[in-house]
Each structure stands twice: as C-alpha cells, then as structure tokens.
Amino acid sequence: MRKSARSARARRESTTTYAATWLLLAVVPLSLSHAQTGEDDAPAVQDIVVTGSRIQAVSGASLPSPTTILDSSTTRSLGIANVGDALLQLPSLLNSASPGQTIALSPQNIGSRIANLRGLGAERTLILVDGRRFAPSTASGTVDMALIPSAIVSRSDIVTGGASAAYGSDAVAGVINLVTDTRLEGLRAQAQSGVAQQGDNGTVQASLAGGTGFAGGRGHIVLAGEYEKNKGQGDYYSRDWSRRETCQLGNFADPSQPANLIVDNCRTGFLTGPGLIDGGPFADQQFSADGRSLVPFVPGRYRGFFQSGGTGEGENAFFRGPVMVPAYERYSLYGYADFEISPALKPFVNVSYGSVLGKNVGAQGRFSRFTGGGLVLSGENPFLPEVIRNAIGPAGTISVGKAMNDLGNALGRSKTSTLRAVAGITGELGAQWRYEAYYQHGQTDYEQRLSNNLIPARLRQAIDAIQLPSGAIVCRDQSNGCQPFNPLGLGNFTPAAAAFVTGTAALDTKIKQDVVSANISGEVVPLPGGPLAVAAGAEYRRDSLETVADPISRANGFYTFNAANIAGAFDVTEGYVEVNAPLLADVPFAQSFALNGAVRRTDYSTSGAVTTWKVGGVWEPSDFLRLRVTRSRDIRAPNISELFSPLVSGQVSVLDPRSNSQVLVPLLTGGNQGLRPETANTTTIGVVITPLRTSSDTLTFSVDYYDIKVNDVITSTGATNILQLCQAGSASDCARVTRNGAGAITLITDTQANLNGLSTRGVDFELNYRRQIGSGSLSFRGLATYVDRLVTLYNATGTSVDLAGQTGNSNFGAGPGVPHFQATSYLTWKSAGGTSITVQNRYIGKGRYDVLQVGPDEAGYQDAISGPPDQNNSNNDNSVSSRLYTNLSISQTIPAFGRGSFEVYAVVNNLFDRDPPIAPGASSATNGILFDQIGRTFLAGVRVNY
C-alpha cells in the first residue's frame, strides 16, 4: 500500500509530541520532589465546598462525583479575558461555538462561547452561576458563557458526570458552575491589549470590580463591569498553511486513485467568478471580466465540484472572504448586595447584564450543476456576446456556473443581550440547618441579520432579460420591480439590480425563563462517621421562546440561513432529596466511608413526569488513598425549538435509490410536540492518590473512569438517510416518503424524533503538585482525558458510528468527533519578590480525518476506485497529526497603595508558532474547534488591586 509523505511526517510529529507531553506530565512532578521545602501558600482543594452536592456542609473530598476546579488565578495568569475561553481549554470540554471555531460562514451566535462536555452536545451540558441556572442564550436552550461577567468569577467547578438528580434537566454530560466572589473587598482593575504576529486579531479588554461591607459588616455590596473587543482575523488566504487551498474532494475521474482525496490547489471545477459555460459548443469557456468575450478555462485534476489545479488560483470562493475568526464586541455588568437582618434572615439581590455583538463575512450564492443547476440564459438575452447568441439562436439556452462573489460576500451580524435578576433570602435555622429561597427572572434578546444575502428566485427573474425595440433592457417578467441583472463577467450589473436580487435575512428571538426555588440542608442524626446530612428542595420553572423571521426567510427564499417563526413555552415542577451518610470513620480498614444519594421527580407540561436519581460512595482506607463510585439516571428534556418549530418546506437534492438518479425534492422539516425526554445512565469509578502531603509539599493524582449511555436521542434523520433506511426495509421511514403514481418522490418529511442512542466512555486524569521554595513556590497541574468511544447508534438500522479519535473537519462525515487523547498542563513559579512565570501546554493527540473513511495506514484501504465511488471509503490520507501548543506568561507584582498591589504582565500564546494540521472542511483548511488557527499572539496588560 502507498503511504503519502505527509502521512509519514504526521506520524513522526505525533510520536514526538505525544512523548513530549507525557514527559511533561510525568517527569516534571518527579523532578520537583528534590526542590527545597517551605510553607504551602494555597489551601487544599478538598477544603472547598464544590458543586457536586446540594448539601452545603459536605466538602469536595466527601463526594463521589468527580469535580474539576479551575481557579480564577489560572485565568488571570494567562491573560484570558473570558472564563469561557479558559474552560474550553480543558481536555474534557469542546468548543461548540467560540471565536476561534470555524463558524465564519454562519451568522448565528457570533463570538459566543458555548461549552460541550464530553462531545455529547452543548444541549447536554448544564451551566449554573452560584448553583442557579443561567438564562438560556439560544433557541436550543444552551448558554453563552461570554455573557457571564468573568471579572467577578472566583472559580469554576466542572462536575464531569451526570448530575440531573441534584440540578435537573440537561446535566447529562455534567455541570459547569461559575462561582462569583460575593465577598469581594476593595477594588481590582485590569486592562490589556493583544495582537497576532500576522497583524490581525487585535484585542482590547478592561474590567473593574469592587466590593465593600456596610452597616458594621451586616451588609455587603459588589459591583463589576468588563469590556472586550476583538477585531477578528483575515480569511484563509491570510495564512501560509491555508493559502495552499487544501480541500477534500470526491474522485470521480481518476480510477488509479482512491475515491476520496485531500489535495492542495483546490479550486472550483464547474463555476468561476466571471461565469463558466457548462456544456454545448462553448463548454469550458468562461467569460472575460467585462462579460463581452470568452477566455479558456483550464480544467484541473479530479474535476468535480472542486478540482486540483487549473484555473482559479487564489479565487476559491470558499476561502476568499469568509474570515477565520469573526470580530466581536462584548460587555457585561454585575451587581450583588445582601444584608443580614438576623442569622435566620439574610435577603440578597443579584443582577447581571451581558451583551455580545458579533460580525462576520459569510458565503455568497454559487450556481453550478452541483448546486441545483447553473444560471440559465436564453439565446435572446442581450447580455450574451453576439457570437453565443448567433450560435444557439433565440430559442436556445446556455447554462452558466457562477460564483456570485462580485456581489460581495454576505455579511453576518448577531447580537445577544441577556438580563438576569435574582432576589431571595438565605439564613440559618439553628446551628445545623440552612435554607435558601429565591425568584429568578432571565431574558435574552437575540438579533440575527445576514445582509447582502442572495434571493435565488429574484436572480433567475432578473437574468431573464430582453431588449425592447427602443434599445432598453428590461426583465421579461417585470413584477416585484424587477431590475435586469447581467451575471456575465465581474460586476457588470447596476446597483439597482444588485439591490433587487439581494436582501437581509432577519431573525429576532426573545427567550424568557422564570424560576422559583427553595432549598434546605442540614444535619439530622449522628452516624459513626459523622452527622447524616440531608438537602431537599422544590423548584418551578417556566421557559418560553418566540422567534420572528422576515417574510422571505419564512418562504425559504434566501440562498442561505432561512429562519422560521417559533412560539412555545413549557412549565416544569420538580422536587428533590439528597442524603450524605458517613457510615464509618477512623477504623482500621476505613479512615472514612460515606454513601451519597439523591432522587428528583420532575413534571414537564409537555412530556409528563420523569424520575432521576444518583447513588454513590466514597471509601478512604487511609490518607494515601480514596476510592469513589457513582451511578446515576439523568435526563434532557426536549427544548422549545425541538418541540414547537413549525413545519418548513424546502428542497433538497437526493439520490433516489429506486431510480438511482439524483433528484431535487421537497423536504418538510420542523419540531414535534410528541417528543419524550432523553434518558441517560452514567457510571463513574475513580481513585485519588495522595502520596505526599506535608507543610511544604503536596502531590495528588486522580484517575476517573466514566461511561455515559443516552437513549431516545432527539434528532432528525436526514433526507438521504430516510431514503436509504426505507430501501433497507424500515416501514416507519417509508411512511415519511411520499411518491406519485409514477413512483417519483413528491415529499420527504423529516421532523424531530427520539431516534438514536448515544454513548461515550473514557478516563480522566488529574495531577497536582505544589512545593514551597523558600518563601516562593513551584506548582504543577496536569489534566488529561482519554476518550475510548463516542458512539451514535442508529436504532432504525442497528448500525453505529464511533467518532472517538476523529479530529478532522470533514464535511462529508458523520459529524464532529473528539480526540482520543487531550491534555492541558500548567507549570507556575512564584518568587518572594512578586515575579510569576506560568507555562501552559495544551496537547491534542493524533487522530483520523474521518472515521467513515480509511487511509493508507488502515486496514481496508484501496489504492484505486473499486466499484462506484460512493461505495468506496478510501482516502489518500486519513490521518491528522497531533499538536502541542505552549503559552508563556510572565508577571511582576509590586506592592502599592498600602494594602494593594500593581501588576504588569505579558503573555505569548502559541509560543512556537505551530501551524494547525491540515484537516479541511467545507470552508476551512483545519478543525478550528480543536486547533489554533491564529498563530503566535502577543498580549500585555496591567492590574491594580486596592
């Protein structure tokens, strides 16, 4: 079998970086054990009350649920402007949507940070602030962490396992709880600016937070605000590695090559900017820039929708224009106040407001035989050169493949604004009981615009021009104020014609959430290992959504991103009980042994009642060893969009297996009010080892296995899959296909349904080491995740796809995957003189480009096409090399203002300027979810604490 040079190089790079990462994770902590001892300068992690329990008296060490804690000092040390960016660098999380992700073609939620734990989907990750739900930011119910004021977040707790029994629906993959500093004293301010080495991606950020007590300490108030602006990055011709124009294409032309090819010099094969004639006596002739003559088009290799080489260097419409990182601007405000009337009555109020405005450059219309047909001009069209009109005659036609880039790119804009207000009371009921009750209102106003968006029906009306005897050129059909449009050449149309064929796709969304909640926790009776602790509570929640789209979008009239009106709401009533029972303590075989369990009953107005539960235990035979295990039943209820989206008619090109022909058919999509909640079974088993714990040295290592199985996954099937399933004998799918008397498809219905299964399993690792060195300290933290499987089970056919190990960005595959192995580490040295140096390393392991394909280094690879190309899954290079990114931060703190300090710092991200591995998708040359596309960046700033 042939193996490409790039594959071999990728394997060498992968081996080197993999070894380097494990050397960093394993050798560094061991070498530190020989350093000079001193006093530890930080509290132990187990002293922090964490998110894994509603029982406030229980510490993190007593909980069976694995919990990762990210302290705000880590965020500050690396100059990370938003807590969402810091979280998305952890190996258990993926970027479902972030500024660095390849979403430049989409106007949706530009500049957002939406977390996706375990790769199970952002809608299965629950986001909390101070243990309370945060208002949804999207129609699917997910939360944009960019809207949460990072300046006041003291730490983030990530429970990496099911937590529905404690916190309710959506906590299938886990919970992220952002804990704010409601006891802040004094003032702290920060300002920083940065830029990429290439001169783009300029950023500025500033924040101010302050807090103080009043009334003799009985009351406390905290206020904060922050601002961030990112100017964005250039398009894919702005970097050397992407300027190679790499893409994946299907090979239908060269039988000596595999069916799928990753190639450089990728250009469009049957359309050009000036227009390419498809077929007839003028085939493979394109129009000149002025549209009045013809010039030759040079075909490239493997010609299809794309080709390698040939005409079009530097003009690929998928790379020219759309930016790699969209520009965005955000600000957030925060206020908190409480007052202790008595120990039993402490009212509080918390108000926050955040806004994110994002702008990007999107795609423009493209017409060819591969996109539903080219632009058809009749032989009497006055825009055609005379030589063509004479050759085809007035009754003839020609088809032109054209990229409409001369109209300018579509321009995306989205604005998300979220207001959240909480008012409640807390207090103590005796010495061992605490309670909390609150009302919360959240509202998100979302605006989405895609201007200069092509309207295909109007374009086809406008290009059908005729010339009157007076010499005037007009539309044959002059309705709607039609203006004749000359599509030939580059920019040979009037401004009025451009305005007629384009418009602005608009969507306005209002999301509301109201919550009334009451919780109580305390100690009941003494047990051998300590008091039996109990928490209980009840909650009522109402979520509503209303979206309003423009009339053209509602008629599916724009080239892309047509939205629909949605209106719906549901109510949830639920109650829970949690118990923590320390059964043993200080006996020969158990320094401690405790059981933890919870049960929650939830009643949805749309889908009925469901019960979730959790049971777990922690056994600590000695100070050195702790064992933990949990088993839980979790749910995700269908969101409003899945329930209430209206049926929308569109068209889709499919291969009809009955006739073996490609046809354009009507497609009906939308929500389904008969959906059931997804249910999940989660198991975690972990061990925590603490071989070293002295006043000067602490070393802790944990390993946690997880296994999550989700049933009744809510999804749509896809028109092509419906036809294939029907052909394979699925009666339910055949019922979704309507045919006429001649057997032709007249409609495919693809609404949301509880269709599939989803499962994942893997192992999380965490290592923490700290050593005092005189009056300074050296610390190391390493986090790693190995994902063994991420499987989607298609119940209708019994087939499955495992996306674990897929790190490519294939637009033909089964969906986004996750690396088998990821790791992040932090090495920090702090001197007595106020100098701090932090080195962060982030490693993404070697992966496959597309798990549905095979490469030269995999079994089943075929050098050449064998049978129909669509039945051959070989790829000339199905590997994606690993990457190790290093970020360096240096700061100097100077005592000032009496009790305060002044700090200056500098950060270099991607210190060694590592290019991402080539793994092309629809509009990118790499996987922007995983890999850095920006390159080396520089950041400098100042902080003031008073």
Average pLDDT, the chain: 88
Q: Which residue has the higher pLDDT, 637 or 38?
A: 637
- Assess contact for 242 and 236: CB atoms under 8 A: yes
DSSP H or E segment with residue 32: helix 5-32
Residue 9 in this model has a pLDDT that exceeds 50: no
Amino acid at 102: T
Q: Which of 787, 628, 636 is nearest to 707 (CA)?
A: 787
Q: Which of 9, 1, 10, 19 is nearest to 880 (CA)?
A: 10
How large is the average pLDDT for residues 137-159?
A: 90
Residue 132 structure tokens: 């309370």
- Assess contact for 761 and 160: CB atoms under 8 A: no
Number of neighbours of residue 370 by Cβ within 10 angstroms:
18
Give one word for 141, left, alpha or beta, with left for phi > 0 and alpha for psi -120 to 50.
left
Q: What does pTM read for this prediction? A: 0.89
pLDDT digits (tens, 9 = 90+) for 816-839: 889 999 999 999 999 999 999 999
SS3 of 499, please? helix
Note the residue count of the chain.
946
Q: Which of 114, 20, 181, 176 is nearest to 825 (CA)?
A: 20
Cα atoms in the Cβ-side hemisphere of radius 13 Å centred on 133: 30
List CB contacts of 262: < 8 A, sequence separation 6 or more: 246, 247, 248, 849, 875, 876, 877, 918, 920
List CB contacts of 437: < 8 A, sequence separation 6 or more: 424, 425, 426, 517, 518, 519
Task: List phi, psi (to 5°) of 833.
Answer: -85, 5
- Assess contact for 340 and 235: CB atoms under 8 A: no
Q: Which of 284, 241, 295, 245 is nearest to 267 (CA)?
A: 245
Residue 870: its pLDDT value, please? 57
pLDDT digits (tens, 9 = 90+) for 47-74: 344 566 788 655 555 678 888 889 888 8
* Strands 799-802 vs 776-794: parallel, antiparallel or unpaired: antiparallel
pLDDT digits (tens, 9 = 90+) for 78-88: 888 888 888 98
For residues 271 and 277, give the distance between their C-alpha atoms in angstroms, rounded to a whole number. 8
Residue 834 structure tokens: 């106020």
Residue 362: its pLDDT value, please? 84
How large is the average pLDDT for residues 429-458?
A: 95
Cα 877 from chain centroid?
Answer: 26
* Strands 346-361 vs 186-196: parallel, antiparallel or unpaired: unpaired
Categorize the per-residue pLDDT at 37 as very low, low, confident or very high, splitting at 50, 70 and 90.
very low
Using alpha carbons, list the distances in angstroms from residue 827 to 177, 542, 841: 25, 45, 9
Residue 330 structure tokens: 């955000």
* pLDDT-wise least confident of 269-273, 605-609, 861-865: 861-865
- Assess contact for 715 and 675: CB atoms under 8 A: no
SS3 of 813, please? coil
Give the distance between the most distant pair of CA atoms in the chain: 106
Categorize the per-residue pLDDT at 182 as very low, low, confident or very high, splitting at 50, 70 and 90.
very high
Residue 869: its pLDDT value, please? 57
